[in-house]
Structure 1
């Protein structure tokens, strides 16, 4: 399970927000296949779509653009990375 797409910030944020791919696709007026392509790293959203994506996922564009998963060889890389991202989100919410 610990492949590169598991640590994709778009996928992690969608999971953190408890949204399904179809739900995100509907909110962004794009296809579920395009959401999947973004989450698998095959595509990256344009400027407008990135802005809309950030809004749907409840974070700033900077959070998406600056997110770097920790290089970690432990068995729980996905879970640790998701936890780290959630901590970033909570810290950003606390500072507003």
Structure 2
């Protein structure tokens, strides 16, 4: 169950990072962590295996990605990267 939770969080991070990159390229504006958090229910309907874990974990992934982008834009960190299994 723990491995599945880690995998779900990694998948959500990568999916949200990809969505943020596409949105920035298309519109020139990014998304906040809260904007990403609002999309979790729709993702749970599309991917039923996301519903098997606690929603707070998924919400925290979105907020962490928002903080990572804030740190990048304030020049405190590098650009957020995609996560791998290893």
Q: TM-score, normalised by structure 2?
A: 0.29
Q: TM-score, normalised by structure 1?
A: 0.27
Higher RCO (CA < 8 A, seq sep 6+): 2
